């Protein structure tokens, strides 16, 4: 099994390797890896190919949210406990830098070009990390249902949800909230709900309220829409 | 801090006086299993760096269970018209667990009790699965209104409301390292300078103070690297000190003067860059944080007093 905890890959390491990346017409070089990562890369690339085919992405000018969502679900399925990938792993920026710059730089490049922020430079914008957490925080029973509740969102939803973990994500609140938000498409509402949530969590514990997390989330949406 | 719930309150809460009167006794320990052998880690202080107490525990391979037993000798003092809640109601103990570095927070109910002449005994056991914790983890215990049947004036009126003015127990588990490290990394550049400081954060109040967000890098290929790294002579130690001072000054200036953050923000996240800045401003006694000169002069003066003058001449 991959020793994820052993990955030490600083911003400087990533920068050095990123600068050595060379973009060819059909590939990006070098992709240097130890054996243990080759099979993971193969799976991640197979998924990328499948997503490209399904989403007909070969014919688009620029990849967008639809790719983020579809590929996010794929990496969420692959990067999981059977290969030793845990909450601790997903909280390790070294791991995300390593995956982005060393393992599948070609996939990151297809989405963001050579934008260093999304490869390694700005932790909260590391693309693979943001789409993994987006799916993790929104997961609803299975792949299909998760896709369905998220399909009408945008890149902005990912940023809003993932960018500010505060003192830590409350996963049950976020999953309930994302399910509820699938009934809406109002970006401003989403932003207001998240703000209200951050403010209220300082004073109340939804898990301890009457009706628990779901009553709490209902109330957030009601109040963010001006009450009644 | 992040979970400071002491906002201006319109209902009665349990203050330290009342906490003392009801007689709260708490015992806590940590436990894990290694090769089917039970291991106990005593919790003697509020903040515990696990690997300093027990090198055998691995955040990756072992689960970690927290056990807390709580005794309240005179619970009835919390009930009644003149106290916290009606004797018809039920109180609960809640536990808020949060860790910015592990990316999660949750609140779990610990136990409930009603008005009674007898003492309350609650035993709580909570297990973190292997590889779920990273960095620092905070665990706060408080009293809340669990069930409401009757409400008097100036008392909490909704189930879930927090009734302790301050948490009656706060624990900090340091899962990785000792929790007080300035993020220093190394790079190799034969032509390059001895050190460089890099900023990768977007929001200092949210970003964790670690090498992903801010890093002081020393050039391992530089001729002076070995000397400052080993710190054998007084001059080499002074040089390393000066590098640290410059790095900290630059970070403080960026965070407070350029980005206009406020260190007196009530909801300062522990381990954030802003929290580190607050700590430096306080411990280096920087009085005027609006001036570049005052910041670096105060730091140098303090550093010199503390570290250089106290040392023996030994080189």
Q: For residue B64, give the CATH number of its domain.
A: 2.60.40
In a domain, B4, yes or no: no
Closest CA of chain B from A55, distance in Å:
31
**Residue B1 clears pLDDT 90, i.e. is over it:** no
Cβ–Cβ contact B212 with A under 8 A: yes
CB hemisphere CA count around A24 (13 angstroms): 6
Residues B20 and B155 in one domain: yes
In terms of pLDDT, which residue wins out, B145 or B229?
B145
d(CA B115, CA B89): 8
Residues B112 and B153 in one domain: yes
Domain that holds residue B46: 16-174
Phi, psi for residue A204 in degrees, rounded to 5: -130, 160
Residues near A132 by Cβ (< 8 Å), separated by ≥ 6? A72, A75, A76, A79, A90
Residues B191 and B302 in one domain: yes
Tell me how far CA of residue B67 lies from CA of B62, B93, B109, B170, in angstroms.
16, 14, 14, 14
Domain boundary pick from B126, B147, B174: B174
Structural domain boundaries of chain A? 4-163, 166-228
d(CA B207, CA B271): 8
Domain boundary pick from B174, B198, B223: B174
Q: Per DSSP, what are the bridge partners of residue B169?
A: B141
Residues B257 and B193 in one domain: yes
Q: Which residues in chain B are closer than 8 Å to A205, comparing Cβ atoms?
A: 94, 96, 107, 144, 160, 162
pLDDT in tens, B154-179: 999 989 999 999 999 999 999 986 55
**Residue B98 clears pLDDT 90, i.e. is over it:** yes
In a domain, B5, yes or no: no
Closest CA of chain A from B57, distance in Å:
14
Mean pLDDT score across all residues of chain B? 90
In a domain, B54, yes or no: yes
In terms of pLDDT, which residue wins out, B6 or A132?
A132
Residues B29 and B133 in one domain: yes
Closest CA of chain B from A8, distance in Å:
11
Residues B168 and B192 in one domain: no
Q: Which two tokens stand for residue B264?
A: 């007196």
In a domain, B10, yes or no: no
Residues B205 and B153 in one domain: no
Q: Which residues in chain A are closer than 8 Å to B2, comparing Cβ atoms?
A: 166-167
Q: Judge if the upstream peptide bond of residue A30 is cis by omega within 30 degrees of 0.
A: yes
Residues B188 and B286 in one domain: yes
Residues B143 and B200 in one domain: no
Residues B22 and B170 in one domain: yes
- Coil/strand/helix, residue B45: coil
In a domain, B179, yes or no: no
| Cβ–Cβ below 8 Å for A122 and B144 | no
Q: What percent of chain B has pLDDT over 70?
A: 93
pLDDT in tens, B286-307: 999 999 999 999 998 888 877 6
CA dihedral over A40, A46, A52, A58, signed as positive or negative: positive
Residues of A (188-227) whose Cβ lies below 8 Å from B: 202-210
Domain boundary pick from B174, B205, B224: B174
Q: Which of B107, B109, B105, B89 is nearest to B158 (CA)?
A: B89
Q: What is the pLDDT of residue B231?
A: 81
In a domain, B229, yes or no: yes
d(CA A45, CA A78): 11
Rounded to a whole number, what is the largest CA-CA distance in chain A? Answer: 59
- Coil/strand/helix, residue B22: helix
CA dihedral over B229, B230, B233, B234, signed as positive or negative: positive
Cα A16-A22-A28 angle, rounded to 5 deg = 110
d(CA B136, CA B129): 16
| Cβ–Cβ below 8 Å for B159 and A209 | yes
**Dihedral, CA of residue B210, residue B211, residue B215 and residue B220, to nearest 10:** 140
Residues B193 and B105 in one domain: no
| Cβ–Cβ below 8 Å for B132 and A86 | yes
In a domain, B315, yes or no: no
Q: What is the mean pLDDT of the segment spanning A51-56?
A: 95
Q: What is the mean pLDDT of the segment spanning B14-24?
A: 95
In a domain, B80, yes or no: yes
Residues B238 and B137 in one domain: no
Nearest CA in chain A to B102: A91
Domain count, chain B: 2
């Amino acid at each position: 099994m991959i020793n994820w905890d052993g990955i030490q890959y600083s911003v400087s390491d990533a920068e050095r390797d990123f600068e050595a990346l060379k973009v060819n017409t059909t590939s990006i070089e070098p992709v240097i890896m130890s054996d243990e990562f080759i099979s993971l890369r193969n799976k991640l690339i197979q998924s990328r190919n499948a997503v490209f085919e399904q989403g007909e992405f070969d014919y688009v000018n620029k990849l967008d949210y639809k790719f983020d969502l579809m590929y996010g679900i794929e990496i969420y399925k692959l990067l999981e406990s059977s290969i030793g990938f845990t909450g601790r792993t997903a909280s390790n920026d070294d791991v995300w830098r390593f995956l982005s710059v060393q393992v599948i730089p070609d996939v990151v490049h297809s989405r963001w070009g050579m934008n260093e922020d999304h490869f390694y430079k700005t932790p909260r914008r590391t693309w693979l990390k943001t789409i993994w957490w987006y799916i993790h925080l929104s997961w609803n029973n299975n792949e299909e249902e998760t896709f369905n509740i998220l399909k009408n969102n945008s890149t902005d939803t990912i940023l809003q949800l993932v960018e500010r973990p505060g003192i830590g994500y409350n996963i049950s609140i976020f999953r309930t909230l994302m399910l509820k938000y699938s009934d809406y498409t109002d970006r401003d509402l989403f932003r207001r709900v998240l703000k209200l949530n951050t403010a209220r969590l300082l004073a109340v514990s939804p898990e301890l309220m009457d009706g628990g997390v779901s009553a709490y989330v209902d109330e957030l949406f009601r109040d963010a829409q001006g009450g009644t | 801090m992040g979970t400071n719930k002491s906002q201006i309150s319109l209902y009665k809460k349990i203050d330290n006086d009342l906490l003392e009167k009801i007689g709260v006794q708490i015992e806590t320990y940590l436990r894990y299993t290694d090769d089917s052998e039970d291991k106990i880690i005593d919790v003697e202080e509020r903040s515990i760096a696990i690997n300093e107490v027990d090198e055998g525990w691995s955040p990756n391979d072992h689960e970690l269970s927290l056990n807390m037993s709580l005794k309240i000798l005179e619970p009835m003092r919390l009930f009644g018209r003149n106290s916290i809640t009606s004797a018809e109601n039920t109180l609960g103990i809640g536990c808020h667990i949060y860790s910015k570095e592990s990316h999660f927070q949750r609140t779990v109910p610990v136990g409930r009790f009603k008005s009674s002449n007898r003492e309350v005994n609650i035993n709580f056991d909570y297990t973190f699965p292997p590889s779920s914790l990273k960095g620092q983890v905070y665990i706060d215990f408080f009293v809340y209104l669990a069930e409401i049947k009757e409400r008097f004036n100036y008392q909490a009126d909704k189930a879930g409301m927090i009734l302790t003015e301050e948490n009656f127990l706060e624990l900090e588990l340091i899962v990785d390292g000792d929790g007080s490290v300035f993020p220093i990394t190394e790079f190799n550049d034969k032509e390059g300078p001895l050190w460089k400081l890099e900023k990768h954060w977007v929001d200092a109040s949210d970003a964790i103070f670690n090498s992903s967000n801010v890093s002081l890098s020393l050039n391992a290929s530089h001729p002076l690297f070995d000397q400052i790294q080993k710190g054998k002579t007084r001059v080499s130690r002074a040089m390393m000190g000066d590098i640290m001072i410059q790095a900290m000054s630059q970070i403080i200036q960026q965070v407070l003067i350029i980005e206009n953050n406020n260190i007196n923000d009530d909801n300062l996240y522990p381990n954030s860059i802003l929290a580190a800045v607050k700590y430096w401003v306080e411990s280096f006694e920087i009085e005027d944080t609006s001036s570049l000169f005052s910041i670096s002069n105060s730091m140098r003066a303090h550093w010199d007093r503390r570290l250089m003058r106290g040392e023996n001449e030994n080189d």
